[in-house]
Chains A and B, each alone.
Chain A
Amino acid sequence: MQGILFPRGVVEEREGLQEYRARGGYTALEKALKGLAPETVIQEITESGLQGRGGAGFPAGKKWAFTRECAEQPHYVVLNGGEDEPGSKKDRLLMENLPHLVMEGVILASYAVGASTAYLYVNSQYNKAKDSMAQALAEAQEAGLVGKKILGSDFNLDILFVAAPPNYVAGEDSAALEVIEQKQPLPRQKPPFPATAGLFGKPTAVNNVETLANVPAIIASGAKWYRSFGTPESPGTMIFSLNDEVNRPGIYELPFGSTLRFLIEERGGGVKGGKSIKAIMPGGPSSAFLPPDKIDIPLDHNSVRAAGSSIGCGVVHIVTEGSCIVEEILRIADFFAAESCGQCPACRMETNTLAVMLKKVQQGQGGQPLLEQFSKVISFNKGKGFCNLINMPGPPIESALRLFRPDFEFHLANGRCPQS
């Protein structure tokens, strides 16, 4: 199956400027600078239906239009390479091995929104990705692709690096802006959204690495071509990550609408040891568990939502038969409690309380009435944080309680896992 980001399969080695150009790299930029108005670039991205790959699936064209249309100057672009989602390595791989593809996406985004400065916000633990992007930047500057009067046009662009602290919340877009402003990685209250009042208070388009990596192909080959991949509502492809639960862990680019079964069985080589599946989390630790009979759903935003979960940034986690769901969500609750930045009282209260409640369940304390309290704590705090983290523990916990009640009841009665 042909891909968009990886036309010949996932790239294992770094692609330099020569190789990238040899396969048509930077022709989209040339096309744009020589013949497309910024508004036309945005129009093409809007028509392509490109959705953000950083988790929320926000339409990229819409975000760019909001930014471009702001009268306030200057405008900025931020490449979000914070990537701290457990089990996600896709942005890292793109920056390490396809740095020019990502760079061309950043330059096109900057041209489209009218930015003359772009920031590459890269996870500080990703040394290889940072080095690879820095080398690509030097190569691009030398080739006249970044800097003054790019490719002979009137478009100027400076690109700067900022290290992203390696904690989860630092990847949130407004926290990223704070870090670029040399402050602590704490999310801002919204609105205003970064698109209208972002970096230094100016209009800023913050986009995920994978989102921007899709841009060159769309500009080069057109929205119509892009829409030949995926589904009408989720066009294009998405990178999915499979971890150690399958025989062939790794990242896989699939058109939206491919089934979960295809990803797990055909690409991932099936579950390790031939174990049967107890539950699937299709979109990272903040997505609801799906029961195994949902394995034939298509992976696109609408279908996964209709099945009761969300696609997030494509980290598919499989829980095998014999694992205890209480232990699974205790880990998740501890993760969110540890990662909550601590500035919003409700988020702190919620994440800490849920973690303590689950610990009680795990140890067999509290009884049935405790199980009834989870949804109350979750709904009481819903939406009461500056960022979306406060809403993240809800889906896994509530779906686990709904689907795997016996695991909870066994823990309450015996203070241990059914299997141990």
Chain B
Amino acid sequence: MKRLCLVCQNVDCKSRGSEQLMKELAKLVAERALTDVEVRPYICFGACQDGPNIVLYPEKSWYAGVKTEDLKDIADRLAGGPDVKRLDKIDSSLKELIYQLLDTGVF
């Protein structure tokens, strides 16, 4: 299975530009020739106030409040770079719920 880079496309994240973020991230991933990564939309991670939200799976990294200037670091992370710790802001119970859903194939 491909590694996933899930970008929330629900109302709040969209209103904060997540459509554009998804496009640009896909471009950065392509530039790095990460053919094992798929950038795709997600229904909603339930952390709307903290959006736009991006989750990497199966590595289970959750980046919240992502801005255009953060995308390069996220793409680098996918290419083996360091975790983007400054964007890790989500509480662990929500993370657990969403990761379990992802583990059962809800994406």
Interface residues of A (CB under 8 A from B): 342, 345-346, 348-350, 352-353, 356-357, 360, 365-367, 369-370, 372-373, 376-377, 380-381
Contact, CB under 8 Å: B93 / A370:
no
Q: Number of A-B pairs whose CB atoms are under 8 Å?
A: 58
Assuming the contacts A348-B11, A376-B97, A380-B97, asked whether A370 and B105 have C-beta atoms less than 8 A apart, the reply is yes
Q: Distance in Å from the Cβ of A368 to the closest Cβ of chain B?
A: 9
Q: How far is the CB of B11 from chain A (nearest CB, A)?
A: 5
Given the complex, which residues of A lie within 8 Å of B11, measured CB to CB?
342, 348
Can you name the residue of chain B whose Cβ is closest to the Cβ of A345? B48
Given A373-B100, A380-B97, A352-B44 contact (CB < 8 Å) = yes
Chain A's nearest CB lies how many Å from the CB of B97? 5
A369 CA / B105 CA spacing, docked (Å): 9
Q: How far is the CB of B49 from chain A (nearest CB, A)?
A: 6
- Docked complex Cα distance between A365 and B47 (Å): 26
Interface membership of B1, Cβ < 8 A: no
- Specify the chain B residue showing the minimal Cβ separation from A380: B97
For window 49-107 of B, CB contacts with A under 8 Å fall at: 49, 93-94, 97, 100-101, 103-106
Q: Which residues of A contact B106 (CB under 8 A)?
A: 353, 356-357, 360, 366, 370, 373
**Distance A376 CA – B94 CA, assembled complex (angstroms):** 11
Report Cα–Cα, A345/B44, bound state, in Å: 9
Residues of B within 8 Å of A370, CB to CB, are 104-106
Size range of the chain B interface in the assembly: 10 to 19
A345 touches B104 (CB 8 A): no
A372, B105: Cα distance in complex, Å: 12
Closest CB of chain A to B73's CB: distance in Å? Answer: 25
Q: Please pick, from B48, B94, B101, B105, the residue contacting A353 in the complex, using a CB distance under 8 A.
A: B101
B38 in the interface (beta carbon within 8 A): no
B94: nearest residue on chain A (CB-CB)?
A: A380
| Cβ contact within 8 Å between B93 and A380 | yes
CB-based contact B105/A345 at 8 Å:
no
Q: A353 CB to closest chain B CB, in angstroms? A: 6
**Which one of B12, B48, B100, B105 contacts A376 once the chains associate, using CB atoms below 8 Å?**
B100
A-chain residues with CB within 8 Å of residue B49 when the two chains form the complex = 345
B30 at interface by CB-CB < 8 Å? no
Are B46 and A345 touching (Cβ within 8 A)? yes
The answer, among B12, B101, B104, for a CB contact under 8 Å with A367, is: B104
The 8 Å CB contact of B48, one of A349, A373, A380, is: A349
In the bound complex, do residue A377 and residue B93 qualify as a contact, i.e. CB atoms below 8 Å apart? Answer: no
Q: How far is the CB of A36 from chain B (nearest CB, A)?
A: 50
A348, B44: Cβ atoms closer than 8 Å: yes
* Cβ contacts under 8 Å, A360 to chain B: 105-106
A-facing residues in B21-52 (Cβ within 8 Å): 43-49
Q: Let me know if B18 is at the binding interface, CB within 8 A.
A: no
Residue ID in chain B nearest A353 by CB atoms: B43
The answer for the CA separation of A356 and B102 in the assembled complex, in Å, is 12
Name the distance in Å between A227's Cβ and chain B's nearest Cβ.
46
- B-side contacts of A345, CB under 8 Å: 12, 44, 46-49
CA distance A348 to B104 in the complex (A): 20
